Structure 1
């Protein structure tokens, strides 16, 4: 073979362009596949430790410390309705906006009732009526609500995710040092009707309350909730906490109880210390008390430490109420619960001024 026959034939300009295009195409394909994998990986990862429902419906405390909304699996796609407790408002404002950014496939829409006041009871009623996919509550389910669900062929399950304090507020001019839990209950039962009976001025007490069947917070006497039938005849019912605060400011002897997160910082009412006895009154606000004439430049802040360590005497539990019917309602309710059970969800609840459920127990270290 001659030396001339061994020489390589130079490629044409067209061939060079074709080869170059193939190489670039392969590089782009690899980059796209790699990018898709990085995007899908957290969504495909199974977060076995992030949530486990016990008989009491509690989020597991063995969740990975790094768990976040991206690690939660089986998130349904679509738009879903939810509603209920107004005590959940700070959670909805903070947590749900984060969920929408992290998981845009899940669209949540808060729905207010049309004929009754918003609250835990009305939200559960709307869930039973098929108007909501899941509900938020700041009180446990009643036997009546559970029975109604069973008659409709499914079970209502309540899952605790946090704790809120219950604050008692009065007209800012009222001079009374505080109340015991028993005195508060007797006021709403109509057994104590004048402030002089609890160390205050000679002034008739005007108790305000949401209708118990729709209220976010219920007072407990023994093992029975104080319902409308047992409340005193002098109790005046209001549509919402906003209405109660307005009327309380105009009523010298008025009193009202509600979510501490929603009323402690208000400028028009005065929160009262509460206790099991008069010698151990605990303030729902951080000491020292900020005088109302300094508000809104300064505001009283929630005493989260007292609520967290249990020294504050009245608290309410925050529940996600789920319809266990093997349908889309159960799927989205459980998905929302798994999101709140993550480390990101629990931190957001704390940032909203409430006590995460996980804070009540030591967090087990992941292996």
Structure 2
């Protein structure tokens, strides 16, 4: 009996010693970004490269729209918001009420590309023609030099920064036609236009694919060169917002985005760098 007790106690002490000697899991620095689905492909690539270079860091990036990202930043549930539009006055006031000063960081340039099915013979639309289509005044492609075919209008959802940017540049204070298909992401717009010969939509230039056709707007193509030269009429900046000046991991990540290596990733993602590229 005494031998059995001794063996048991030895086993317990051995287990305890093993627990003490076990390596403690390495603590990881974590950062969460949320917001624009236009900016999402850029920041995902930035996060992947940054984590590869900085073991022990964990950066999570998710979409949801610019509005959702800014709201989460103000509520303190994320560290950075990605946005394809400027922060609104109401959002600034809400942040101030919570004692937060939201800081804007421009990380890339973008062109809003107006897209159609590749079989659509129309190659150019004026801003006025695009406006009439989205207001419902023009409903058939024949009216703008195309086939006798109904125009299927796709748009982004109202929480999207891309929706806001498009409305500001094309519609002003007018509302889009009520039968437009309001979609939750730029990828959804691309997918719908790809599968719908009569469709029209708009996306950031980083979403252009061979299976869709980008129209010239006022005779100008949606290219990086035309955007930089100030010729393309639907250009916009892309942002990251922080609650105050970034510190710690957030600052290091933002510094990487703005570095020549980070701006190279912007260029490789088919957007326009705002700083030197390595």
TM-score (norm 1): 0.61
| Conservation of the 8 A alpha-carbon contact between 1:133 and 1:332 | no
| Conservation of the 8 A alpha-carbon contact between 1:82 and 1:110 | yes
1:190 to 136, 141, 159: 136
Map Cα deviations across residues 15-56 of structure 1 (whole Å, 9 max, x no partner): xxxxxxxxxxxxxxxxxxxxxxxxxxxxxxxxxxxxxxxxxx
1:101 to 47, 52, 59: 52
Matches within 5 A, 1:152-163: 152-163=98-109
Map Cα deviations across residues 284-341 of structure 1 (whole Å, 9 max, x no partner): 3xxxxxxxxxxxxxxxxxx3222222222212211111112x7xx7654443322222
The answer on 1:265 being equivalent to 2:174 is: no
| Conservation of the 8 A alpha-carbon contact between 2:113 and 2:202 | yes
Alignment correspondent of 1:231: 176
Q: State the shift of 1:80 in Å.
A: 1.4
Secondary structure at the residue paired with 1:128?
Answer: helix
Q: State the shift of 1:134 in Å.
A: 0.7
The answer on 1:91 being equivalent to 2:91 is: no
| Conservation of the 8 A alpha-carbon contact between 2:29 and 2:249 | no
> Which whole-Å CA distance do the structure 2 matches of 1:309 and 1:81 have between them?
35
Matches within 5 A, 1:47-196: 78-112=29-63, 118-196=64-142
Show structure 1 runs of 5+ residues with no match: 1-76, 113-117, 276-280, 285-302, 360-367
The answer on 1:349 being equivalent to 2:269 is: no
TM-score (norm 2): 0.78
Alignment correspondent of 2:166: 219
1:203 to 141, 149, 155: 149
Cα distance, 1:354–1:249 mapped onto 2, change above 3 Å: closer
| Conservation of the 8 A alpha-carbon contact between 1:122 and 1:213 | yes
The answer on 1:274 being equivalent to 2:217 is: yes
| Conservation of the 8 A alpha-carbon contact between 1:320 and 1:333 | no
| Conservation of the 8 A alpha-carbon contact between 2:126 and 2:217 | yes
> Which whole-Å CA distance do the structure 2 matches of 1:111 and 1:201 have between them?
40
Structure whose alpha-carbon radius of gyration is higher: 1
| Conservation of the 8 A alpha-carbon contact between 2:74 and 2:100 | no
Cα distance, 1:283–1:131 mapped onto 2, change above 3 Å: same
| Conservation of the 8 A alpha-carbon contact between 2:32 and 2:60 | yes
